[in-house]
């Protein structure tokens, strides 16, 4: 669809492969509500990135946390669905079902912990810029 380059530290340059898609890309960027102002420059789009203030950083941390919570919620939904499937299938005896449930809980905890670790690292990165 387009090539991206970074000609300056705070600028993104988008060069669509088809000139006719310049306005479509600009409209999509505006619709995405990223607090950026894409400027059409002939057959290219330039986006100047604002300086990150402490307020911007804190807002970005909130967004990252929201994405992380959504990811953890999805993991929990998968856990719930898997446990329901184990209970409803009744393929194995009680002890084996208990073992499966414990394994599902272990895997769930592993992925929740990974998400928490990624969130903590990203929060630290965002606040220490």
Task: Judge whether 86 and 97 are in contact, CB under 8 Å.
Answer: yes
Alpha helices in 32-93 (DSSP H): 54-89
Residue pLDDT, tens place only, 112-126: 999 999 999 999 988
Rounded to whole angstroms, what are the CA distances from 113 to 53, 70, 80?
Answer: 30, 14, 17
- Say if residue 24's pLDDT is above 70: yes
The DSSP H or E segment spanning 3 is: strand 2-8
The Cα 60–Cα 124 span in angstroms is: 11
Q: What is the mean pLDDT of the chain?
A: 91
Residue pLDDT, tens place only, 64-82: 999 999 999 999 999 999 9
Give the N- to C-terminal CA distance of the chain in Å, as an integer: 31
The Cα 121–Cα 5 span in angstroms is: 26
- Residue 2 pLDDT: 86
């Amino acid at each position: 669809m387009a090539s991206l380059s970074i000609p300056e530290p705070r600028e993104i340059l988008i060069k669509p492969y088809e000139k006719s898609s310049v306005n479509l890309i600009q409209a999509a960027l505006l619709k995405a509500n990223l607090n950026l102002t894409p400027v059409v420059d002939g057959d290219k789009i330039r986006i100047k990135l604002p300086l990150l203030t402490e307020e911007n950083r804190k807002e970005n941390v909130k967004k990252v946390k929201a994405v992380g919570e959504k990811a953890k919620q999805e993991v929990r939904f998968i856990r719930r669905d898997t446990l329901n499937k184990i209970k409803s299938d009744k393929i194995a005896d009680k002890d084996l079902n208990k073992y499966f449930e414990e394994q599902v809980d272990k895997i769930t905890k592993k992925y929740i912990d990974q998400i928490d670790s990624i969130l903590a690292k990203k929060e630290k990165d965002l606040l220490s810029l």
